[in-house]
Each structure stands twice: as C-alpha cells, then as structure tokens.
Amino acid sequence: MANPSRLPALDAGATVLHALLDPDQGEFPEADLADPKRCPVSAYARMLVRSALDSDPGLLAAARAPSSITIIEVPSADLIDPVGEAWRAEVMASDAVPDCGDDTGAAVGPWLEFRRESGARPSKLDTSRVAEALAAGKPVFAFSDAPNRVFPDDLLRAADRRLILQPLNGPSLVAALMLHHGAPITRIPDDGDARLVRPGDLLLARRPDADPDEHLRRALALASGRNAATGSAVLLEDLHGMDQAVRWGLDLREDLAAFAAGQIGWSEVDRGALLAGPTGTGKTTFARALAATCGVPLIIGSLAAWQASGTGHLGDMLKAMRTTFDEARRAAPCILFLDEVDGIGNRATFGREHRAYFVQVLNALLELLDGIQSREGVVVVAATNRLEAIDPALLRPGRLDRVIEIQLPDANALAGILRHHLGGDLAEVDTRWLAHAASGASGAHVERWVRGMRRRARKARRPPTAKDLEAEMTDGHLPVSTGVRHRICIHEGGHAVVIGRNRPGALASVSVPRSSNAQGPMGVVASRDSPLGLNGDRHVTRSVIVSAIAERLAGRVAEWLLLGDVSAGAGGRESSDLAEATWIATAAVASFGLGMPGNHAPLWRGLPTIEEVPSLLAADPGLVDQVARLMAEGHAEAASVLEDNQAALERIASLLLERSTLSGSEVEALLAGPEGNAP
C-alpha cells in the first residue's frame, strides 16, 4: 500500500504508463500524477468524489466530523490511491499529511487513513490505533475496492458512514476530461459506454496533440474493444433450436427494463443462469444475443483467461477473476458471461494434487456470486458442456440457480439456422431438405459450412450455389451403406422408444445422417431435459438410475432384438453409450449408496468423473459386482420396453431410413398408436 506520508504516489494505471515508457527517455514526473490537469486518472478520481458530494449534501460535514469513521468503496483497485488523493483535496481541503494506518508509532497526521486492495490479505488493524485517533477527535477513512474482504469486521461495524463510489456516467466522464484539458467537449457519451472506461483507458488514450474530444473518442474505443461487442445483428429472436433459453432471455429483458425504470427491485430479477449443452450448440452466441437484445454490455470471463493472466499463480488467477467481476460492476446493468465454468470442477472429484488450488478458486467464485461486494445490475450467465462436473454449490439460490439445457438443433431449427447464416444467399433454395441431410449437426457446423460455401464461390468468381453448400456439408464425410445405415436407424430408434416410454414429452428429435464423419456421431437423439441429476439431486432413486441406464443401453438392445446381433457402436469412447451407462452405475454405487438393495452396507467414495471410472473398477472387484448388477437391471428394462413396442420400433427405424429425422412428437404418436402396443 502506498504511504500517504510520501504522496503523491503512483496509482496502478500510472504504473502501466511508466511500464510503456522507455526508461532512457525519462519518466513521467511523479508530481504530475496528483494533478488533475496533468493526469487524467486524477481528474477521474476528482469527479468521482465530487459526484458523491453533489448527490449527498450531508456527506461533507459527516466526513469531516471529529471522531467519525467513513468507509469509501471505489470502483476498482487502480482507483484507490487516486481517490485517496482526491478525497484529501476535495473533502479535507488540506495539504496536510495523514497518518497512514500501516505505519507504527504515534499518530502524527490530522486524520487516520487506510488503503487496501481487494487482492491483499484481510488486515488485522490495531484497534488501539483506531481508538487513539478517535479519542483525539480525528476522523478515520478507509479506502478499498472490496472493504468487506480486506477490512476487519470491527472497523466495518463501527463505521458511521459507508460510501460506494459508482463509475462515472457520461456527463461526469466529460467533466473529468474537461477538468484535465481545461477545454470543452462537444459530445456526451451514453452512460453505459462511459461506465466501461477504466482509468488505464484514459492514460493510454491520451496524445500530446489531441483535443479532449479525440481523447474521449480513443478512451471509449479502448473500452468497447476490450469488452465483447454487443452491436451484433444477432438477437434472441434470430436464434433457433433453443426455445427455453430464448424465452428466459426475453423475460430477462423485460425484468431489466423494469429494474432500470425503478419499477422492481434487483431481488426480483434472475441474477444467474447456467447454460448446459454439447459443444457447438450456441451457448456463447446466446450470451451475445442476450446482451444485444437487452441493450446492455457483455463482459466475458473464463477459467482459461484467468489462469493465463500474470504467472498463473493462484494469487494472479484470483486477482484476474475479481477484475472481471469489477469490470462487470462498473458496466452494470450488464451480462457477465463465464465460459467453460466446469473447468473449475466439483469438490467431490478434486484430486489430491490440485485440490487446495481449485478449492480456493471455487470459494472465490462463490464469494463473488454471493455479492459480498454488491453485484446489483450484473446478471451472470455461465456455460458448461458437462453439467455433471459443476459443483452443487454453484447452483444454489442467488448464484447460478437456473439451469437451461441447450441441445443439438432438430431439423426445423437447423433450417432456421441455415437461413440465418445464408442471409441473402440461396434465397430461392428451400433449406428444409438440407437441414434433414444435416441432422445431428450443430449451429457451429452450419456457420462453418456457409463460410466454406462462400469461399468456394469466391474462388470460382461466381455467386454461391446449393452445390457449394452440399460440398461443404459432405466434406470429410463418407456415404453410409444402406445395411449399416439400417442398423444405425434401429439403434437410434431403440433409444428414442425407451425415452419416449419412460419420459413422455422429453424426446426432442432422433436423427441419422446419410453421410458420416468418422470423428462424429452416426446418429443423434436429442432430449429436452436431463434424465437424472447426479450432481446433487437428492430425489434420484434407484429406479431412476436403472431407467437412465436403460435409455443408454436401448440402442444395443434394439440391434439384438431386430437383427439378432450387436455392433460395437455402443462402446468405445468416453462419450459412448456404454461409457455413460457405466459411469451412471458407478456413481450410483460409489457416491449415492444406490447399489445392491437389502442389508448391503453402502459406502461413499466421492462422485467420480467418467474418466476415473475404469481405474475405480479395476481396483475394486466388489464395486464391479454392484455396477454389473445395475447394468443388468438397466439392460433388462430396455429389453422389456422394446419387446412391448417392437412394431413401433420397426416403423420408427424404417422412417429414419427414409427421412433421416423424426421429431419427438412423431415418435410418441407412433408409440401411442396400435404399432406401439400402447395400453
């Protein structure tokens, strides 16, 4: 912490500027950093304090009152020292040297002052030191970007006043630059754009020969370039295949508008949501469209970006995480998008080697989500490809308490996605037949195909054609023989029948493409909700576990029932049917005590990841026995359901062979008819 007895001190933003200067060319004069006419960050801090004084007529007298304690929360760590200096000039109107709380010995200044960054360890202030200052009639000031985290509870409870300085709005930012330049500015930016400007932006945007308008333009450009653009043409209404997410987003737009108008409180707005779904289903696209539709900034953070900051040390990582949340608070109202949040992991599955690191990362994220530092106006939207890897604590009320599943798009959604990306190209082409041919693809695949189509057309110096698009869609794919494709249709039809019978309304679609990439799935069954919640759902029973296993083994069982033999298509990778079924059974036994019924004593061994299952089974024959029993029960249930609905299964497989895709409602209609042997 900077010592006020040696002020003016370098603030964090100015340190950045010093690092950019060539030491051989001389340094920016230290004395200039306390002068708003020479340092724009000092001007910014002055306007922060003046705005607070203007909005609260009683603040000046209260802050100067003898034996008073005032806590001042600043928008970011790089403003702690500048605000401290602005407070000294604007509130105390004094050049006197305050007593710095970090020094030892008797109090020597006219007031006692503490400054702490959020990344610092919680301080243990000497109570007698504070009491001595109060007894002498001296006011006490404490500056921080996270007072609740770094100052002791006793000081916070004893405070007479808590002041939260908000980022400058448009007029105040203009006033700060006018104070710095001593010249007028011809435009006032929107409040949302102004609140995104950081002190460092003001430093890096300054040019010796630039007027204040140019300084403002450069600062706004730096801020908007750092934050994810929300001026995209994609809005929620443009998205296809994610109806649940779009409905939630449109409701959020109304709530944020009502909150901004003062019609509802922040407690009435959904403050967090988790988007769960396979790679390429458009979770990031949804976040961008959500921000654009709501008309608010989008701030993006991720575990990878936080770990890449600094040295990757835990302290640097946590500081980067807090910086992202600080940025979102400054930009509020806004959407804060946290990508790949499953990378933090689940405490139940942390290994010994890195457990201490990731426990602290998870705890820090929980603290930021809980809003110990207010995050009013910040809606946190996180994304994961693996819902089972999310720690249950992240899903508790007030955090990411709304889980929205996004599945691969069905044929109708794919047709809409194709038309959106095609824009004015191929206007005469009906995209529905192309969408059926692309069953099992994601929105990311569609975007790549359209990009490749246009590239082919540019090389040929002609407009794009449907053949260009078809060529991109089949690039790297091989046609599947009729015999193999018939088996795949039976396999996927088996999954669809068991889902349709066990969970009516859950099946979204079943697709079998006419061509296949060796690295991708040869068939896709999409369901609208999760068959079970192995991530803290206490209502999961043993019968639910068995049914979930049955859904995954149903394809293999259908092959046996109709063809008298099975293929290796259900096994292989960690994403295969057999792997997922085995993981569900292993987790049920090892973590939830749902193995053999009766008098068998259950044990808790932690919630394993799917990658850990083989080693767990290899080390414990008893566990293998219980897992095998559950797998056998799931196999028997799948066989029973498919035998009872064999006629419908055959019809579904035949239609898939002919049409490639069936909707969930079409499958359920077949199950409900005579062919389904429905009761």
- Catalytically active residues, by annotation: 492
Q: Which two tokens stand for residue 218?
A: 């450069």
Q: Where are the alpha helices (DSSP H) in 261-300?
A: 283-294
Q: With contact defined as beta carbons under 8 Å apart, do 525 and 496 qualify? A: yes
Strand partners for 338: 301, 382
Rounded Cα gap, residues 163 and 52, in angstroms: 8
What is the DSSP secondary-structure string of 432-462? HHHHHHTTT--HHHHHHHHHHHHHHHHHHTS
CA–CA distances in Å: residue 50 to residues 90, 112, 153:
7, 21, 28
Residues constituting the chain:
679
Q: What is the DSSP letter of 505?
A: T
Sign of CA dihedral 197, 202, 206, 210: positive
- Kindly give, in sequence order, each residue whose CB lies less than 8 Å from that of residue 263, ignoring residues fewer than 6 positions away: none
CB 141 within 8 A of CB 112: yes
Are the beta carbons of 677 and 642 closer than 8 angstroms? no
d(CA 420, CA 580): 35
Give CA torsion, residues 95, 100, 106, 109, to 10 deg: 10
Cα 323–327–333 angle (5° rounding)?
145
Pairing type for strands 507-511 and 661-663 reads antiparallel
Q: Supply the Cα-derived Rg of the chain in whole angstroms.
A: 31
Looking at residue 144, its amino acid is S
Distance (Å, rounded) from C-alpha 228 to C-alpha 209?
Answer: 30
Strands in 357-455 per DSSP E: 378-384, 402-405
Q: Locate 68 and state its tokens.
A: 């008073």
Q: Which of 112, 75, 89 is nearest to 34 (CA)?
A: 89
